[in-house]
Structure 1
Amino acid sequence: MTLPPLRIGVWAPVHGPRAAWQDPAEPFDASWPHNRDTVLEAEALGYDATLVAQHTVNPHLPEKDQLEAWTASAALAALTSRIEILAAIKPYLYHPVVLAKMALQIENISQGRFGFNLVNAWNRAEFEKAGIAFGEHDARYAYGREWISVVERLMAGETVSHAGEHFRISDYRLSPASPVRARPRIYLGGESEPARALAADHADVFFINGQPIEDVQAIIADLTRRPRRGAPLAYGLAAFVIARESEREAEEEYRRLLALAARDAPAKQEQAARTDPNVVMIRTFAKSPRVGTNGGTAAGLVGSYDQVAERIRAFHAAGIELFMLQFQPLRAELRRFAAEIFPRLDRPAPGAAADLRVAQAG
């Protein structure tokens, strides 16, 4: 079996550090300059994608800064030349016509390097405090199914008329279309049955939260069995990486971050109170200690450089095409991974040209 090309991405620091919020090695910074410079450096180092998570208010520390995903993604699209820009989207926040137009605009700015990650919101307070409807878990997926059915057709250049439970659209067509392909790529994240069914019907790539390879294989097997139109579904994996010269050094850093993360317990308790208890990923995260978000270190990418590379190869052989990685401290570990792990994955290490672009990015 021929494996799809292995792609490596990085989460943009839209709401500060991913592992621990009181780390002296990673001061809180969710600013536009920090996000811009991180993504420019990632592109220069050879990373293939970046994921810009969407929140209007910081979901972990509501008093702290939060980058806006879609305006930032448009700016990143204009500043970059190769890296894929993925913006997360919660359907309740944008009418499908408006969102499809925004997606096509960023697709044109990027010349075909844009995709969006459809997610079912979990932070109830973000919606309710704004007076925005926040349905129950399965109702949100039913809304998202109707929403994406409209968005997908509009992005593909169709003239759309639609009369459904939530939207009524008459003879609507958007222009210009994508300059290089049928439409922007659709990613979808979630672990529940409604999420999997929606991914099989509408997504190009299914994002899996970090978890052991046996669980990932079971998810891929389940999705592969489902009927589907068009090309086979591709798969991405979120994971937090701690890679060092030796396994002992990596475990020491893991314990450091785990101890720092324990200091965040009061804020995490408040966050839990704002979270929909029916969200399946929350139960997945509770299975074992971890650092990082969206499963974090549960994927097992903690170890020596050789061990981490070997585990990534195993996930790739299991069907993971795109690894969306987290690091802390972000910029230093981004460089370490490119220098040490890229060559072990048969990817070029950053060269002189990349070093120059990094220096220019700040």
Structure 2
Amino acid sequence: MTHPLRIGIWALVHGNRAALNDPEEPYDASWRRNRGLVLEAESLGYDCVLVAQHTMNPHRTDLGQLEAWTASAALAAETSRIEIIAAIKPMLYHPVVLAKMALQIEEISGGRFAINLVNAWNRKEIEDAGLVFREHDERYAYGAEWLEVVERLMRGEEVQHQGRYFQVKDYVLRPAARGRARPRIYVGGESPPARDLVAARADVWFINGQPLEDVQALIADVRARPRQGEPVRFGLSTFVIARETEEEAQAEYRRLLDLAAQDAEIKAYVKANTDPAVAMRKTQAKFQSVGTNGGTAAGTVGSYDQVAARLAAFHAAGIDTLLTQFQPFEREMRRFAENVMPRLAHLRAA
């Protein structure tokens, strides 16, 4: 079954997505900016926003950092249509507490809330808080048990759970979700344990930006895994540079590459704090790109027609949620809405 293509944005939880020092986009990860960004995205026709979770800035400790869950609650109250997706690292929140928070934001939003489980790559963020940063595969075992408890609580079940990591007795949360069974569940990660978790419990799998043939292989792999209930749906992250001509787009791409080269110290800091077993880092190392989570590796640099055709090809391959990044964000988000979205609509209609 082919679902309509939903187009979303990344909130600017740690500011610029491509390069820190851009004269066209001064660093700003404030609540005020993110509120304005999401309200404008909703008015432009974007369908969802991902609010990534970092308690400390992953690039530099002296830079501002938006808090995901308090911001998501506020965004739920401020908006009327757009889906609010809040990322969560299971090691930071007990499942009972997180499930209650999720149900509260679900109520505030009127049924437009979702969680995005990510099993953490930043060792420093966890260990400096005095918490245990488990090794890669154990993080997924922990996350799977955590999500089992959260999912049942969000459904309004009375939960009895005696597991390896959590023991929950006679727990039930009220009010439960109204209008649907529970908030939607997105899962990130591309390693084999991540794919097992996606097949078992995710509604939507977020895939990092990469070439179409690689995305097709990932989708085929997860579709082949044992699954109960509705089929998994698929999302893709991509950094977009679209212009009237391909030459103009490539010139902007080179501008951002040059600016990103100035962030060598930041990239070394991030690498030093990253678990080398994380699949996302291995994927990103294959490509020269700008942006996070695969950035431009999906090939979304070109003319308006080229970018629209590229995104339509991903949709045909099974991607039905697209998470876009831009820089400067507001200006390029408007450009995309004005010039690429209508072309995408025409291609889908055809």
Matches within 5 A, 1:43-82: 43-82=42-81
- For residue 125 of structure 1, report the CA deviation from its aligned partner: 0.4
Give matches, 1:118-267, under 5 Å.
118-267=117-266
Q: How many correspondences in the alignment?
A: 346
* Shift, 1:3, TM fit: 1.7
- Per the alignment, in what secondary structure is the counterpart of residue 345 of structure 2? coil
Q: Give me the whole-angstrom Cα distance separating, in 1, the residues matched to 2:341 and 2:291.
A: 21
Letter of the 2:280 counterpart: M
Output one character per residue of 1:252-305: Cα deviation in whole Å (capped at 9) or x when no partner.
Answer: 000000000000001110111111111111010000110000000000010000
**Cα distance between partner residues in 2 of 1:209 and 1:270:** 21
SS at match of 2:165: coil
Deviation (angstroms), 1:339 = 0.4
Q: Which residue of 2 aligns with 1:330?
A: 329
Aligned-pair distance for 1:179?
Answer: 1.4
Q: What's 1:286 paired with?
A: 285
The percent identity for this pair of structures is 67
**Which residue matches 2:275?**
276
| TM-score, normalization by structure 1 | 0.95
Letter of the aligned partner of 2:202 in structure 1?
A
Paired residue for 2:108? Answer: 109
Secondary structure, aligned partner of 1:264: helix
Alpha-carbon separation, structure 1, partners of 2:225 and 2:192: 12
TM-score (norm 2): 0.98
Q: Structure 2 counterpart of 1:209, which letter?
A: N
CA-atom RMSD, angstroms?
0.7
Counterpart Cα distance in 2 of 1:96 and 1:248: 50
Q: 1:11 corresponds to which letter in structure 2?
A: W
Equivalence for 1:90: 89
Letter in 1 for 2:207: I
Quote how far apart the aligned CAs of 1:214 are.
0.2
2:287 and 2:163 map into 1 onto residues whose CA distance is: 42
Aligned to 2:164, the other structure's residue is in SS state coil
What CA distance in whole angstroms lies between the structure 2 residues aligned with 1:180 and 1:133? 38
| Secondary structure class of the residue paired with 1:346 | helix
In structure 2, how many angstroms separate the alpha carbons of the residues matched to 1:136 and 1:195?
13
CA deviation profile, 1:104-151 (whole Å, cap 9, x unmatched): 000000011000110010000001111011100001111001100000
Q: Report deviation, 1:342.
A: 1.1
**Alpha-carbon displacement from aligned partner over 1:50-97 (angstroms, at most 9, x marks no partner):** 000000001012210000000000000000000000000000000000
Report the secondary structure of 1:227's partner residue.
Answer: coil
Deviation of residue 193 (structure 1)?
A: 0.3
- Aligned equivalents of 2:61, 2:289: Cα separation in 1: 22
Secondary structure in 1 matching 2:28: coil
Residue 9 of structure 1: aligned partner = 8
- The answer for unaligned runs of 5 or more in structure 2 is none
d(CA) in 2 for partners of 1:7, 1:39 = 15
**2:301 counterpart residue number:** 302
List gaps (5 residues or longer) in structure 1. Answer: 348-362
- In structure 1, how many angstroms separate the alpha carbons of the residues matched to 2:313 and 2:112? 27
Deviations 1:216-262 (A, max 9, x none): 00000001111111100000000000000000000000000000000
User: Which deviates the most, 171-180 or 295-304?
Assistant: 171-180
